[in-house]
Structure 1
């Protein structure tokens, strides 16, 4: 199968470029669009395939305090009602005492595209992402490709990436998620108690507020028997008072054997 190549353009400031010159002897990332196949319900499954140079990594949707969040702009696409990014389970990295969440070596990022009607899809976007090795650099991937409506054969590489997505709460046998909040300076402290079997090894959590104006500190996570406990602080980015909507909280548990995607919690 012939894949559509994506031109990768670095957006590097002059000062960073001077410092990074030895590390950038070769491109830190190679990218291609896997055109995928049309699903029985009319949606189209494609994927962005990134191959990272040795030592380089890129970031998950919630990249941690040391990461750069990815940004997608799908304007310019045609026959495209929506694009859903389906993230495979990421890994946790530590550097200089700071945590980041993302991928190294390779990332196959599935894209589920809902067309506006019948026929081919033109997928056109710019993806802003961060790449890190000794330093971190902003990078742009530009996509302009036609996805034919006649292809029905699944791509095994995309199927494998879909299979590596975090488990749902029911798949991971999550019984209950309890959240307690209390005042903490200019924000609130959050303690989530998750009744679930272990996900393998030392478990980490990522907490997303679901409210864009809220900043979430890196959580601290430990086990108390069959309960995973994770604690963090939340603050409004403008220092304003706020109400926390617990139903919009998203907690991802990252373990050595699998990850778990949890939506909302009880009081």
Structure 2
């Protein structure tokens, strides 16, 4: 998969609006997108999601694409976006042109705060790829309303999206530590994972860092180790304030937690 800067691309800018908690679908050649926002809670917070309905054969990127492509960008007006959740991704492409993302429809749960009772607009920018990559820009607008009524279908959809997020670290499935290589171009990650599951996928993320696809997972006593390329390392960073996140997939189980890097 070539970088978007060098691929044959078309830019789509689309908008939608609805007086409901769900925007209309915005249709693109590679997939359709919509915004769902539930009514605000008493504290002003609200649950929401970006629904990406990929067409057959099309793919989109994770928050760190792994050296090829662009991560999805979401900005919100009418509310404060406090968090975006990403299901565990998959390594896609081939050895020569690999990237990290999704090859099936994906929903990104969001948390909103403050002023989420009126109109909410999400401006999104993401890449969808097949033979070419198409950067899609869209404005999605909803009116969640202030009467507290929640559409059961919308609530069920967001709950299902939240259920796809990686679980927390626990005994037998957790990060242990990470170590920089001497030149700072690689992190060796040690972790625990179920020994009887399928080979584990390992991903790192944490802006402004950029990471590549992990090398083969190997045994280290009772733990596992994988080496992950560091494609971009900022001159100044504070891992205590903004830790690197380790995401693991082992069979059908997924986990995500901060990684202590020495």
Contact 2:60 2:102 in 1 (8 A): yes
What TM-score do you get using the length of structure 1 for normalisation?
A: 0.76
- 1:201 Cα deviation (Å)? 1.3
In 2 relative to 1, CA 242–84 (structure 1 residues): closer, same or farther, beyond 3 Å? closer
Task: Structure 2 unaligned segments of length 5 or more: list them.
Answer: 1-19
In 2 relative to 1, CA 58–215 (structure 1 residues): closer, same or farther, beyond 3 Å? closer
Determine whether 1:202 maps to 2:199: yes
Task: Structure 1 unaligned segments of length 5 or more: list them.
Answer: 11-26
SS class of match (1:97):
coil
In 2 relative to 1, CA 160–215 (structure 1 residues): closer, same or farther, beyond 3 Å? closer
Q: CA RMSD in A?
A: 2.9
Q: Which residue of 1 aligns with 2:15?
A: none
Distance 1:151 1:221 in 2: 49
Determine whether 1:57 maps to 2:84: no
In 2 relative to 1, CA 199–36 (structure 1 residues): closer, same or farther, beyond 3 Å? farther
Q: How many residues align?
A: 238
Distance 2:66 2:51 in 1: 22
Q: Which residue of 1 aligns with 2:112?
A: 113
Contact 2:179 2:188 in 1 (8 A): yes
Q: Which residue of 2 aligns with 1:30?
A: 32
Q: How does 1:119-198 map to 2 (within 5 A)?
A: 120-149=117-146, 150-152=148-150, 155-170=155-170, 173-174=172-173, 177-184=176-183, 187-198=184-195
Q: Which of 228, 233, 236 is the aligned partner of 1:232?
A: 228
In 2 relative to 1, CA 55–259 (structure 1 residues): closer, same or farther, beyond 3 Å? same
What TM-score do you get using the length of structure 2 for normalisation?
A: 0.77
Greater Rg by CA: 1
Distance 2:235 2:82 in 1: 34
